[in-house]
Amino acid sequence: MSSQKISLTINGESVEAEVEPRTLLIHFLREELNLTGSHIGCETSHCGACTVDLNGKSVKSCTVFAVQANGGELVTIEGLANGTEMHPLQEGFYEAHGLQCGYCTPGMLIRAYRLLQENPDPSDDEIRVGISGNLCRCTGYQNIVEAIRYAADKINQAEGAD
């Protein structure tokens, strides 16, 4: 099988690579680019551990081919922070104890990132619906909801101060 050349922007950086057409985006990220923050969970799109933000949408990278991302803009968990400064979502998960084992956390954070892009001030019910495609086996979700609420409040306060 012949490889294909792809180019995309990942976390603000241009990337060009040769990939086999059947290479899943999650494997490309983890194995070719060493961006191992996104986790491989179920490989059937049920758990959401592999969630990334592609062209302004949350996608489960275990069901997207790398060639489908050609020309796109991708945000992974590695691109969420601003240098050493945590994103408000990362800070919220820390402050509100929104994680336990941490396996779902990268996908949950990226999904929450997109949720807050789409709805900057979601209710708790909207947060629960918004993250419903990402499973957590440890937390019971209450602290995750509180963490996302924390981030939304912090982002909205910062934007109100501008």
pLDDT, tens digit, for every residue of 111-162?
A: 999 999 999 999 999 999 999 999 999 988 999 999 999 999 999 999 887 6
Burial code (b: 16+ CB inside 10 Å, e: under 16) for 111-124 equals bbbbbbeeeeebee
The answer to whether 59 touches 51, Cβ cutoff 8 Å, is yes
pLDDT tens track for 74-118: 999 999 999 999 999 999 999 999 999 999 999 999 999 999 999
Q: What's the confidence (pLDDT) of residue 75?
A: 98
- Residue 12 per-residue DSSP state: T
Q: Which two tokens stand for residue 43?
A: 């490989």
How do residues 7-45 score in pLDDT, each as one tens digit?
999 999 999 999 999 999 999 999 999 999 999 999 899
What is the Cα–Cα distance from 74 to 76, expressed in whole angstroms?
7
What is the reported pLDDT for 161? 73
d(CA 26, CA 143): 27
**Ordered structural domains, the chain, with CATH:** 4-79 (3.10.20.30), 88-161 (1.10.150.120)
Asked if the model's pLDDT at residue 1 lies above 80, the reply is: no
Predicted pLDDT of residue 11: 98
Q: Give the pTM.
A: 0.94
Q: Which two three-digit tokens encode residue 38?
A: 């996104």
The pLDDT value recorded for residue 4 is 97
So what's the pLDDT on residue 160? 82
